[in-house]
Amino acid sequence: MSDSEFKARYGVALIQCPQRNSVKISDEIWSWPGCQGLEELPEANAEFYVPSEDFEILEFGSEAAEKCAEWLDSGAFQKTHFHVFLKVYFSLAADVLVTSPDDLRTYIATEGKKIPYGCDLLSWNELPDTDYLEN
């Protein structure tokens, strides 16, 4: 047998998913065939509120404080669409050819798995064959 028959193939996928479901989605991804690791990367341009020095303090009982309380009670703030990126590492069987996100979708589907609702498979890259012990 040649060395190429023993070489393991690894790849990495970048998946965008809703932040509110990221834990549930991460649990699902761990069940995908060949999943070896998962890293959550917060979205770099998420719209976080950074208070400035001149922000208004809401006085208890004021109209502004009541509107703020109504907004919090309504849950409207939870309907914003913040996303996280999941970097998923795969070990692929020698007989599996994955060269694109579509091939990865097919590979995942072979075990009856699917990309969770609301998620987008943004990219797929095969990792170079690296001797990590030597490096």
pLDDT digits (tens, 9 = 90+) for 47-85: 444 444 555 566 777 887 787 777 777 766 555 557 888
Classify 3 as helix, strand or coil: helix
Regarding beta strands 35-42 and 120-126, do their DSSP bridges make them parallel or antiparallel, or are they unpaired?
unpaired
- 70: its two tokens: 């109504």
Which of the 8 DSSP states describes residue 58? Answer: P
pTM above 0.85, yes or no: no
pLDDT digits (tens, 9 = 90+) for 29-53: 998 888 999 988 865 444 444 444 5
- Residue 103 CA to residue 92 CA, distance in Å, equals 12
Q: How many Cβ atoms from other residues are within 10 Å of residue 99's Cβ?
A: 11
- Cβ distance 55 to 10 under 8 Å? no
